[in-house]
Amino acid sequence: MTPAATLFAQSMLIGLSIAAPVGQIGVLAIQRTLQHGARSGLATGLGAALADAVYGAIGAFGVVMVTDWLLGARAWLHAFGALFLSVIAWRTWRQPPAQRGSAPPGGGALLRQMGGTFLLTLSNPSTILSFIAVFGMLAGRSAAPASPWVMVGGVLLGSALWWFVLAGAVARLRSRFDARWQQRVNRMSALLLGSFAVWQLLALGS
C-alpha cells in the first residue's frame, strides 16, 4: 500500500471513531430516521461529517489564527450550541408521529436538517485540538504529497460511512414502530437532547 493510501485509510478510521460514539447527533439521526426515513437520518449525520471535515482541515493545515479565535470563543460557541440544541429538543418533543405512507422530506427539508447539525457540530471547537494532535502525528510519519487533503478526505469519508451505515440499519427497524412507539421515541429523544443541552450549559461554569 502506498504512503498516501495508508494515510487515507488511517484518516478514515479517525473520522469513523469520531462519528461512532452515540451523542447528540447520533440521537437526532436515529430519531429522524425512525420518523422520516433513512435519507433524513443520513442528511443529519452528513451535516456533522462536513463540520468534522472543516475542523479537520483547520487542524491539518495548521491555521493557527482561526484555531486561536475558535478556542477563544469556545464559551460563546458552547452557549450557542446549547441554546440551539434546546430548540431542537423542544421541536422534537412537540413533533407528532409520521403518518404511514406520508411523503419523505424534500430537498429543502434535508438541507435544513444537514445545516442544523453542521452548525451544532461547529459549536464544539475543542474537536480541533484532537485533530491537531492526531494529524500532527500522522503527517510526521507520512511522506505523501498533499497530506492535509488526503487526511481531510479520509476523515470526511470515514465519518460519512458511519452515518450511512447507522441510517440504513435503523431504517430497517422503522416498519416495526407504530405511531405510539414513534411518539415515545420522539419524547425520549427530546429528553436526551435536552439533557445534552443542560450539560453543555453547566460545563460553561466549570
Q: Which residue has the higher pLDDT, 165 or 126?
A: 165
Pairwise CA distance, residues 60 & 106, whole Å: 35
Percent of the chain whose pLDDT exceeds 90: 42
Mean pLDDT along residues 75-93: 92
pLDDT in tens, 99-111: 766 667 788 899 9
Mean pLDDT along residues 169-182: 88
Mean pLDDT along residues 180-191: 93
Mean pLDDT along residues 161-189: 92
Percent of the chain whose pLDDT exceeds 70: 90
The pLDDT of residue 146? 57
Pairwise CA distance, residues 75 & 84, whole Å: 14
Are 49 and 190 in contact, with CB atoms under 8 Å apart? no
Q: How far is CA 162 from the centre of its chain?
A: 10
Q: Which residue has the higher pLDDT, 128 or 115?
A: 115
Closest to 49 in 3D by CA, of 161, 148, 169: 161
Mean pLDDT along residues 121-150: 71
pLDDT in tens, 21-43: 878 999 999 999 999 999 999 99
Mean pLDDT along residues 145-164: 86
The pLDDT of residue 157? 94
Asked if residue 142 has pLDDT above 60, the reply is no
Query: Looking at this protein, which amino acid is placed at residue 135?
Result: F
Average pLDDT, the chain: 85
Domain range annotation of the chain: 3-204
Pairwise CA distance, residues 84 & 134, whole Å: 29
Q: Model pTM?
A: 0.87
